[in-house]
Structure 1
Amino acid sequence: MTFYPLEQLHRLHDGYSRPFKVAGRELLLLQVQGETYLIANRCPHMDAPLTHGTVQSGWLRCPLHGIEFDLQTGGARGGVAASLAPLEKFPLAYEGNQVGVLL
């Protein structure tokens, strides 16, 4: 596995949201209420980017159809949520003062 650095730790803050393309994958790095998340930047419903989604109470809302995803579990609610695969999450990796992902 290879470490791909995404951001310097001191740049993370609540409300941080930035898309990345790493090893052919579209990812979204978020920080919400002191927790940092790395998820696939694609809604499992219609493959819409989640970059402009809104976060409220730990749920990320897809800007296309309003389906919400729990940032802790990846589970969905609303619309066709029952038929969807969970939102893909990636474990964070740290090296020095950087957060990244191992792929």
Structure 2
Amino acid sequence: MNAAFGTSQPNDRVAFDRSELGLILSVYGRMVAAGEWRDYGMSFLREVAVFSVFRRAAEHPLYSIEKRPKMRNAQGQYSVIGMDGRILKRGHDLANVLRVLEKKLIRPVD
């Protein structure tokens, strides 16, 4: 950060890279096709990147997918957080963490 002018450098924010977004959008697309999700939002902050999914745009997010690089050496930098704030899955491998959302697609057939 340039202290004299208060401007941020592009690397001051955490972001998802192209492969991470590909994995996330793949799950998102399947959930939209199943009629579960309708909208999403992304936030890129200093310590966390967040991909939030919504049933309707005016609601609170159903799930948030977070990337926290500072947690890389601990429990893993990726996590899926439910509407109630509980961490549903955390880990080092994004594809594995996202599987908790795919379980929502499996429903019993009547």
TM bin, normalised by shorter chain, reads: under 0.3
Q: More strand by proportion, 1 or 2?
A: 1
* TM-score relative to the length of structure 1: 0.28
Work out which of the two has the higher radius of gyration on C-alpha atoms and give 1 or 2.
Answer: 2
* TM-score relative to the length of structure 2: 0.27
Q: More helix by proportion, 1 or 2?
A: 2
With CA pairs under 8 Å and 6+ residues apart, which has the higher RCO, 1 or 2? 1
